[in-house]
């Protein structure tokens, strides 16, 4: 449904903003709200989905029927990642993270570290609509065939290349990066590495997953903890890349080791091929 809305966006006049800010202080795009509503409706209606956390909602949302089925889940999601690309038909995505939940959690739920995720994934709405899904020990890719409205698996057991010549970072912030990041990026320049930055984490991490390299969102003067959100951007991407043999760090340890303190907390991000991440960490 979201993929269809995106493809018809300019025809249906659903581009532009809704004139109000979300809890992040970002101006909400119409499609952010549409995607959030679609996911909330779909997920809150499912038995077993007892906790929901969205980038677009200030607080956790509790499913209607906690304690009904043995299989209970908490789902965290970024309904539309890369919102700044919407008006220019650039790559955007939906990111999700799933945890198992024990017992009755009516109204009270403690956020868990990323290592406890049982599954995570993203949909990338690009030249094709695809799903990358990580479960224990496997990363698989599926492509939507719009003719039949079904996702078909096209890859399983995906592995990130050990090393890659791509670095993906918003270099406009370079001056306010910590020195170690500046040194690493200077070495990328010297080595003739390729800079690729779509401005959407889903698109940039997907490229690194397939081609190798590293995606960065370092701390900056403006954002000392970086910009990207732990529960529904960094943890799920970390699980996917790590299940595929990569690394996912904050600069002070693994992303998935971070004990969450808030639904919308931010952490610095260093995600990618093990050799590239090691090379960067050695500069920090």
Interacting residues with ligand FBP (CB under 6 A): 26, 55, 78, 81-84, 170, 199-201, 227
**What does the block give as tokens for 113?**
């570290």
Cβ closest to ligand FBP, residue 35 vs residue 244: 35
Task: State the minimum distance, in angstroms, from the CB of residue 277 to ligand FBP.
Answer: 17
Q: How far is the CB of 199 from ligand FBP (least distance, A)?
A: 5
In the complex with ligand FBP, which residue's Cβ is closer, 14 or 118? 14
- Pick the closest to residue 266 from 218, 204, 209 (CA basis): 218
Which two tokens mark 238? 């970390």
Task: State in angstroms the smallest separation of the CB of 233 from ligand FBP.
Answer: 7
Between 91 and 274, name the residue whose CB sits nearer to ligand FBP. Answer: 91
Indicate the residue among 26 and 257 with the shorter CB distance to ligand FBP: 26
Cβ proximity to ligand FBP: between 26 and 87 the closer is 26
Which DSSP letter does residue 89 get? Answer: T
- Looking up tokens 């090393």, which residue turns up? 163
CB of 168 to ligand FBP, least distance (A): 9
Which helix (DSSP H) or strand (DSSP E) does residue 195 occupy?
A: strand 194-195
Nearer to ligand FBP among residue 26 and residue 254 (C-beta): 26
Least distance (Å) between residue 260 CB and ligand FBP? 18
Cα dist from 218 to 22, 77, 134, 223, whole Å:
23, 22, 25, 9
Nearest residue to the partner ligand FBP, using Cβ? 170
Per-residue DSSP letter, 229: B
Burial class of residue 135 in the structure, from the number of CB atoms within 10 Å of its CB (0-12 exposed, 13-18 middle, 19+ buried): middle
Rounded Cα gap, residues 124 and 110, in angstroms = 29
| Min CB(25)–ligand FBP separation in Å | 10
Distance CA 278, CA 270 (A): 10
Contact 276, 164 (CB under 8 A): yes
């Amino acid at each position: 449904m979201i993929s269809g809305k995106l493809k018809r966006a300019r025809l249906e006049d659903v581009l532009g903003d809704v004139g109000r800010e979300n809890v992040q202080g970002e101006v909400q795009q119409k499609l952010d709200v549409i995607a959030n509503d679609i996911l909330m409706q779909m997920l809150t209606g499912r038995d077993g989905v007892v906790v929901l956390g969205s980038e677009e909602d200030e607080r956790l949302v509790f499913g209607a029927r906690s304690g009904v089925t043995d299989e209970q889940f908490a789902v965290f999601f970024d309904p539309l990642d890369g919102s700044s690309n919407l008006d220019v038909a650039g790559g955007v995505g939906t990111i999700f993270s799933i945890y198992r939940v024990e017992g009755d959690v009516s109204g009270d739920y403690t956020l868990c570290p990323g290592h406890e995720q049982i599954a995570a994934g993203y949909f990338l709405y690009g030249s094709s609509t695809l799903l990358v899904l990580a479960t224990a020990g496997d990363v698989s890719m599926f492509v939507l065939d719009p003719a039949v409205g079904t996702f078909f698996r096209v890859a399983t057991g995906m592995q990130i290349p050990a090393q890659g010549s791509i670095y993906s970072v918003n270099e406009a912030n370079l001056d306010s990066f910590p020195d170690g990041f500046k040194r690493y990026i200077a070495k990328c320049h010297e080595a003739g590495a390729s800079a690729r930055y779509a401005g959407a984490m889903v698109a940039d991490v997907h490229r690194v997953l397939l081609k190798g390299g590293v995606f960065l969102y370092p701390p900056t003067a403006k954002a000392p903890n970086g910009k990207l959100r732990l529960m529904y951007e960094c943890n799920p991407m970390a699980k996917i890349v790590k299940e595929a043999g990569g690394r996912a760090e904050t600069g002070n340890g693994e992303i998935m080791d971070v004990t969450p303190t808030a639904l919308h907390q931010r952490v610095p991000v260093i995600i990618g091929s093990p050799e590239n991440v090691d090379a960067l960490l050695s500069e920090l």
